Chains A and B, each alone.
Chain A
Amino acid sequence: MGKIFQYKPGARSAFDGIARLSLLREQSIKTVFFFTAFFAVIVVAFILLFLARDGYPVLTQVGILHFLLGPDWAPTAVVPLYGIFPLIVGTLLVTIGAMVFAVPLSIGCAIYIAELASPRMKNVLKPAIELLAGIPSVVYGFFGLIVLTNFIRVVFNLPTGETWLAASVLLGIMALPTIISVSEDAISSVPQEYKEGSLAIGATRWQTISRVLVPAALSGIAAASILGIGRAVGETMAVMMVAGNAAIIPDPIWNILSPLRTLTGTLGIEMGEVSAGSEHYNALFGVAVVLLIITLIINISAVAILRYLKEGRTGGHSRKPLISSSTRGVLVRSARVLGLALLLVFLLVAAPWWLAAPILLAGGMWYFGRSYLSENQVQTIAFWLIMGATLAVLVILVILLQDIVINGLPALSWEFLTRSPLDSGRAGGIYPAIIGTLYLVLGAIAIALPLGVGAAIYLVEYTRESRVTRLIRTGVDLLNGTPSIVFGLFGFAFIVLYLNVGVSMLAGQVTLALMVLPTVIRTTEESLKNIPQSLREGSLALGATKWQTISSVVLPPAVPGIVTGAILSIGRAAGETAPIMFTAVVFSARFLPDSVFQPVMALPYHLFILATNVPGSSANKYGTALVLLLLVVGFYSVAIFVRTHFQNKIRG
């Protein structure tokens, strides 16, 4: 040891006098972070306030019962009728159909990824699923409109394929990634000891999966399905492009080949055509309020389940379960009987024979043959089904990608990327749309990033769980569950009209920023929580202040996680149509905007109009879809790369 630093009592040290100043600074920094965190709550309050303000008149004029249960939606008739009952039923039916399609596939796929796949296979599948999540909804809608509805039209010999079935299948596909990744997470987080305990008793892998792992992960899987439902209910563009949009209740009620119309679709179609302040306009805001309430209930219940699970996992074993195991058994059994009965009735009464026959046959064979099969044979059958589900998901992804890539590639050229559109987009390029989209997302992330990071820092570093943080968290969750079309309506009512900003790039940027704010907050929170507590303690023990600790010890290693979140947000914002449809975009602009107060072109909106309103633009449609897809997928791949690169670095 060399010379030791000597402390002389009473001597003036270089550190005197700094203390007060830093205390003041610490306090003001904390205040700033508090306000960024509280911003989410303010936004939610404003959304509710403005939707209610513009939606309230319809309730006084039409009456709440007539509005909710009225059988006819005919806002443009001579005597306008504002009954949204068929729209609610439409939303419900489309969602149920989507879940029937998506939940079994997703659970199969999740089990495969969590339990059966080799590590290498996992490394292929997980990014593929995330890719599926990254595809913009307007691209799904475009694919549905061109490929899926056509397929349904031909197979069922219909005049048009725009039906409930098409909407449900498309929404089901869109809900797959959410359900798969959350369920996979739930299954993978079941403690390894449960698995070892079961295998050590001599249970087969399938017995372990079906009797221990899946039951233990059941609440997580349920939450995943509810999140999927939330996504399906809130989806606008895709469903609007394939559902046929007739505001009728299918007759008979199980006629999946009937067109129908959802709450979101109504907003997307009619919002652009009403004059602000009219009765029709108010009715649409009434629809938005109903939609918002439905999605909020759905999302809050999912979040509550997931949070409950998380606490259960970290909070020790002593807590009592929600319902006692005996009532739970009764519940499960009666749910099973009820479900089977419903299925049977549906198959015998409603389903076409080609659907009913194989299902009944398989069910019968299972029921009577089960006792003759050995556990190994059962396992083989189960694994084949699981692999079949995974394969189906992959096939869907491949069909979608290859259709757009093969048809879109010929349209891609230097001119296409650098020219303005001509002849309503049939000819020319999409340069202004590309630039417009980039402007929009960069502006949005510039607004959302500081707010979101600040909020996350406040939530993780500055507070313990309290009533205030719970309020803030709820605000973030609510914001996260708000359908994108509702953001669009809010942006229109508040920014465009109330603040008198006009339809402009700025209005679009702010609206998109609000939409991606929860994603930024969550990913930042996640990466801050991953920083070991010992680092903070080490810094604080040296006498560093809170902010010094955060800025020099906690934040630097969290940067890759924050960047990942930001890029994911950019990707999401770039693909969104609904929030900018009424706030920021025009279909055709020869020039780029000079200031943020002018409207812009954007890729997703351009694709939407080309696909639905401009006949004969086939090559450019596909070209636009491909460019949008590449752009968004590009952002997602960078995010995934940053994340995995960073993870590998941590592991060493």
Chain B
Amino acid sequence: MSETTIISTSNLNLWYHEKLALQSVSIKIPKNKVIALIGPSGCGKSTLLRCFNRLNDLIDHVKISGEIIIDNKNIHAAGTDVVTLRKKIGMVFQKPNPFPKSIWENVAYGPKVHGVNDKSELNRIVEQSLRHAAIWDEVKDRLNDSALGLSGGQQQRLCIARTLAVEPEVILMDEPCSALDPIATAKIENLIDMLKQDYTVIIVTHNMQQAARVSDYTGFMYLGKLIECGKTVQIFEHPNEELTENYITGRFG
């Protein structure tokens, strides 16, 4: 690949209790592209995603071996600051999870915890992030209303704006559209297309059309293994592995 690699893993294994949830996963994520991870339920896509910002740390009984290199640094190395890591690697969750605060507070939360206290600066960041997440026009008149009053699709774009506000390099999206209707989904997909100019987006989805529509690269996972990873066109039209072909043509999954 000619692109620069921003995240790479080698021989990544992850055990949950005694169960091997990820098995020697080695993947390279190119910068400023959209990478889709597909595969049947329980194949480890979300687990892999949560490895990149070490959110699996929150779960008890998780053991990890192998390496995850982000920006030439092993993120499990002693002395790694998970806070800095998570600022760099943003995440959008499956179910929209705005905080029970106002819309403005939701977006300003990130910059605030990272030390921005100047009100006008915060206003600027909030507006910019909301614009970037294509939701500004819908909420600009009610920034002080509770975020919980927004529709599901709006909440999800607000969560994306909240992520953008801390200026990450990578955005992890864990089935961001699974709780949304087709129109809201279309908006998010357009947004993803725009985001790749500035960010690297890794999206987990179980919707293969979505993967085909939005991504540049696709990785297919099955039973905790990364079966193959390559350009989306190649994966969908000429997969190297029979397993991938079976899944994509709908013979199982």
A interface vs B, CB < 8 Å? Answer: 119, 191, 193-204, 207, 211-212, 215-216, 317-318, 320-321, 324-326, 375-376
Contacts and interface: CB of A to CB of B under 8 A. Distances in A.
B95 A193 contact: yes
A195 B99 CA distance: 9
Contacts of A216: 99-100
Interface string B71-85: 000000000000111
Interface of B: 53, 55, 58, 60, 83-88, 90-91, 93, 95, 97-102, 105, 109-110, 112-115, 144-146, 148-149, 159, 162-163, 166
Contacts of A119: 60
A201 B99 contact: no
20 contacts: A193-B97, A194-B99, A196-B58, A196-B97, A198-B99, A200-B55, A200-B93, A201-B86, A201-B162, A201-B163, A201-B166, A204-B83, A211-B113, A212-B109, A215-B100, A215-B101, A216-B100, A320-B149, A325-B144, A376-B83
Contacts of B146: 320-321, 325
A197 B148 contact: no
A376 B105 CA distance: 23
B87 A202 contact: yes
Contact of B83 (A193, A203, A211, A325): A203
> Is chain A's binding surface mostly helix, strand, loop or mixed?
helix
Given A193-B93, A201-B87, A325-B145, 7 more contacts: A198-B99, A199-B86, A200-B91, A215-B100, A317-B149, A320-B149, A321-B146
Interface centre among B100, B102, B115, B149 (most CB of A within 10 A): B100
Contacts of A204: 83, 113
B238 to A, nearest CB: 36
Contact of B90 (A200, A211, A212): A200
Contacts, number: 87
B97 A197 contact: yes
A193 B86 CA distance: 15
Contacts of B55: 196, 199-200
Contacts of A194: 97, 99-100
B2 to A, nearest CB: 31
A191 B100 CA distance: 10
Nearest to A197: B97
Contacts of A195: 58
Nearest to A192: B58
A195 B55 CA distance: 11
A207 B105 CA distance: 14
Nearest to A316: B148
B144 A326 contact: yes
A193 B101 CA distance: 14
Contacts of B83: 202-204, 375-376
A197 B100 CA distance: 12
A200 B113 contact: no
B144 A212 contact: no
Contact of B86 (A202, A325, A326): A202
| 5 nearest A-B residue pairs (beta carbon) | A202-B87, A193-B97, A200-B91, A202-B86, A317-B148
A3 B119 CA distance: 79
A201 B108 CA distance: 11
A119 B99 CA distance: 26
Contacts of B105: 325
Contacts of A375: 83, 113, 115
B86 A200 contact: yes
